[in-house]
Structure 1
Amino acid sequence: MVYCQNSQSQTKAVILVFKRKELLYDAENCSFVEGDIMKTDNEHARHQVFDIAQKGNIDRVTRVLNTAHAECVEMLYPYTKEEMLDGQEALDDVLRQPETYEIRLTLPKTFSLTTLRMLKELIHEYLVCRVLADWMSITNPASEAKWEKKFAMLRNKIQTALMSRTRKIRRKLKPF
């Protein structure tokens, strides 16, 4: 996490950084376990589950990672919105493999650091599970539903974390 705080402002800028290498490492580990516990005698099918980050397959994984990152940015919309500049936006579908996936947030000064840390962990897991759900839909359809359920649960937790209190509450000492 990178913090930038303006003392005059009521907000602070935060960048959540997710390293592609770390995301792929976690996806490969889970994919290896999935392949290892597959109930099949077909070694070719098992080998396809293992090869999630191999040449040729990595392009599909990259597209899913890019999409999942965009989904996370959109989930955090109140804190990530960016204005479009007139005539400045040109988007294409060229495959990009960024070294890092960044989410730039503008948060109230009162936003909890513990919530931010939890968001970082939840988003990392979301990105990994999203990749695995897609990969399993291709190589091991029996396992796809498990990963879809996990990333749906993580999406719900991310959205719930954003709705948590961000301001201090003052309670009167006397109830009457």
Structure 2
Amino acid sequence: MECHYTYKMSGGKTLVTLLFKREELLYDIENYSYVEGDVMQTNAEHERHQVTDVGQDGNIDRVTRVLDLAHAECVNMLYPYTKQPVDIKEGRDNTLTEMQEYEIRMVVPGEMSKTTITLLERLIHEYMVYRVLSDWMSITKPTSKRNWQEKLDDIEEKIYTCINTRCGRIRRTQTPF
């Protein structure tokens, strides 16, 4: 499973690093797609194996690209905590690279709860898995895409709720009116 590391910084901030292991993500993706194929109401083995072969040669390239996209989407969703300045000499290309770990580094307020970080970590894992399955089902079993997209949308909403939930007392200023 994923793990996270924390480091106390000056100014009451904490650096939190979330690591998502590719192997764990692929395990869940392949399990879900196997079940999806197993419960198909068809005798056409070709259709069934298209759904279940998500982790096989050739198909894994698509999975890698969608995992990379899902990771970038998660980093962007966490923008208040993940923003980084663009390097003046930054260069990028679209070379396909299989990352063994997906890392999210966040600078969070020191009073942020460990339970919030744990919840966020689990939600992001599910988001990345559902993002791949939604994409894969749109290709191999379009009738299931809607189900996975609904799960993805629900998880995305939970991530936003998790990072936007206020903790502690809210002080309201008194007005003379």
TM-score (norm 2): 0.92
* In structure 2, distance between residues paired with 1:53 and 1:109: 40
Report Cα offsets for 1:40-96 as digits up to 9, x if no partner. 11100001111000011000000000000000000000000001122x110111111
Partner of 2:50: 48
Distance 1:155 1:35 in 2: 25
Cα gap change, 1:49 to 1:170, in 2 (>3 Å)? closer
Equivalences for residues 23-172 of structure 1 within 5 A: 23-86=25-88, 88-166=89-167, 168-169=168-169
Q: 1:3 aligns to what? A: 6
RMSD of aligned alpha carbons:
1.2
Partner of 2:175: none
CA distance in 1, matches of 2:139, 2:132: 11
State the AA in 2 paired with 1:148. Answer: Q
TM-superposed CA distance for 1:119, in Å, is: 0.3
Equivalences, count: 168
AA aligned opposite 1:98: M
Offset, 1:9: 2.4
Matched with 1:174 is none
Distance, in Å, in 2 between the alignment partners of 1:95 and 1:152 is 27
Distance 1:35 1:150 in 2: 18
* Residue aligned with 1:9, SS: helix
Query: What stretches of structure 1 of length at least 5 have no aligned partner?
Result: 172-176
Q: Partners of 2:123 and 2:61 in 1: how far apart?
A: 24
- Equivalent position SS for 2:7: strand
Q: TM-score, normalised by structure 1?
A: 0.93
Structure 2 gap ranges (5+): 172-177
Compared CA separation, residues 3 and 31, structure 1 to 2 (3 A): same
Identity rate, percent = 51
1:15-60 CA-to-partner distances (Å, cap 9, x unmatched) read: 0000000000000000000000011111000011110000110000
- For 1:17, what is the secondary structure of its paired residue? strand
The runs of at least 4 consecutive aligned structure 1 residues that moved more than 3 Å come to none
Structure-2 change in CA distance of 1:170 and 1:46 (3 Å): closer
Q: How far 1:129 sits from its partner (Å)?
A: 0.3
How far has the Cα of 1:170 moved from its partner? 7.8
